Amino acid sequence: MDFVNRESREAPAPHAVAPAPHHHAAAGGRKPKMSWVTRELRYSIFVVLVGCALILSILSIWLAVGPVSREADLIDSKKYQAVFLNGGFDASNGAAQPITYFGHITKLNDKYLVLQEVYYITVPAPTNNQATTNSSLVKLGCDQLHAPYDRMIINRNQVAYWENLQDSGKVAQAIQAYKKQNPNGPSCSTSSSSNPSTPTTNTTTPTNTTTPPATNTTKPATP
């Protein structure tokens, strides 16, 4: 009998085994590629963070510089300005008051103030216990002993306040009158060549007009 063929006919055919799913690993052990949605989400978050950082930076710069820039915009370049400094002292009554300079403010920031074409007022000390009102306008320059240039750089923290001056004010009119009398400015060559007057000292020896007492030179009589 053909047992071999019989067994082959009677034995059920084995079921084909389905191959196991195979995951393709990235070469070199790298992670699988990021999906389009995740990539777009991360990009959006990055853009938002960068935008917030820029907004905060601009805001901080505006808070630091913005108020000073607005104050500088208030300067009328066609007018004179009065700059009042802290720490002044009035010799007439002993009261503290700001020192005042007049001129054109050409630059103003949070560090310093630049004043050009500078003038100031001098008030002589009162005499005989009486206050005096005879004040005079002085131009900053070679008339002073240290002969500075006609420009002042003032620390911002020393400025109490400043003002724009009207052309009809006494200070502005006095400046215009000074400029008419001195169209070329103060004569620095004459001021530098002239020596300041030296106070004279009286060196004359006073004469003694008192007559010395007479000396008795009479010899006593011999007994």
pLDDT tens sequence across 79-111:
999 999 987 655 555 555 568 999 999 999 989
Q: How far is CA 93 from the centre of its chain?
A: 32
The two beta strands, 99-108 and 81-85, are antiparallel
DSSP 111: S
Q: What's the rounded Cα separation, in Å, for the pair 164 and 73?
A: 12
Confidence check: pLDDT of 219 > 60: no
- More confident call, 53 vs 15: 53
Nearest alpha-carbon partner for 86 in 150, 172, 148, 154: 154
Confidence check: pLDDT of 16 > 70: no
For the entire predicted model, the pTM comes to 0.51
Q: What's the rounded Cα separation, in Å, for the pair 223 and 142?
A: 89
Confidence check: pLDDT of 204 > 50: no
Radius of gyration over every alpha carbon of the chain, rounded to an integer in angstroms: 49
Evaluate whether 131 touches 92 at the Cβ level (below 8 Å).
Answer: yes
User: Across 71-85, 119-133, 179-193, which has the greatest mean pLDDT?
Assistant: 71-85
Q: What is the pLDDT of residues 147-170, one digit of tens each?
A: 788 899 999 999 999 999 999 999
Q: Is 150 helix (H, G, I), strand (E, B) or coil?
A: coil
Phi, psi of 49 (to 5 degrees): -65, -45
What tokens does 124 get? 């002589």
Question: Residue 37: pLDDT band by 50, 70, 90 thresholds?
Answer: confident
Residue with tokens 């601009």: 58
Q: Give the pLDDT score at 209.
A: 43
Output the CA angle 82-86-90, nearest 5 degrees: 85
Residue with tokens 């004043």: 115
CATH of the domain spanning 81-126+133-192: 2.30.30.100
- What is the average per-residue pLDDT within 21-34? 59
The b-or-e profile of 167-178 (16+ CB within 10 A means b, else e) is eeeebbebbeee
What tokens does 120 get? 């100031």
